[in-house]
């Protein structure tokens, strides 16, 4: 998995498909590259710097376990932390991501176009 680092990539994903779960928000869109790319973000609403960093670390760990199995090549994923990201049990976070991926992939469709 590659990492998203440019602001333009995050903005493009934000205009794509969004699925919200109790533990995280998932934004996806098709990319020009054939790899799975993933980015992480946490706003100040989540908490102070320590809390935001912990939330992003948890999102990275969840993505490492779920995206290689369920992610689609040629797709960009952005995981956005929510207030519950830090306190939610890890298995529940994994289930949240899996559920959001399933719903977003259905919406994305087989050709990659938003229906």
For the chain, which domains are there? 2-108 (3.30.230.10)
* Whole-structure pTM value: 0.91
Taking 80 as the threshold, does the pLDDT of residue 7 lie above it? yes
Report yes or no: 24 and 93 within 8 Å, Cβ to Cβ.
yes
Rounded CA separation 65/45 (Å): 26
> For residue range 42-63, what is the model confidence (pLDDT) as tens digits?
999 999 999 999 999 999 999 9
Taking 70 as the threshold, does the pLDDT of residue 20 lie above it? yes
Relative to beta strand 24-30, strand 17-20 is antiparallel
Rounded CA separation 21/23 (Å): 6
Rounded CA separation 85/14 (Å): 19
């Amino acid at each position: 998995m590659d990492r998203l680092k440019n602001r333009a990539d995050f903005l493009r994903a934000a205009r794509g498909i969004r699925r919200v779960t109790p533990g995280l928000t998932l934004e996806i869109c098709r990319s020009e590259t054939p790899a799975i790319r993933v980015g992480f973000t946490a706003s100040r609403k989540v908490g102070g710097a320590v809390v935001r960093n912990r939330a992003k670390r948890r999102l990275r760990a969840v993505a490492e376990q779920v995206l290689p199995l369920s992610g689609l090549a040629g797709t960009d994923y952005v995981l956005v932390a929510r207030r519950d990201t830090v306190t939610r049990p890890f298995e529940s976070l994994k289930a949240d991501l899996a559920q959001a991926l399933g719903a977003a992939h259905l919406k994305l469709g087989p050709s990659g176009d938003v229906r």
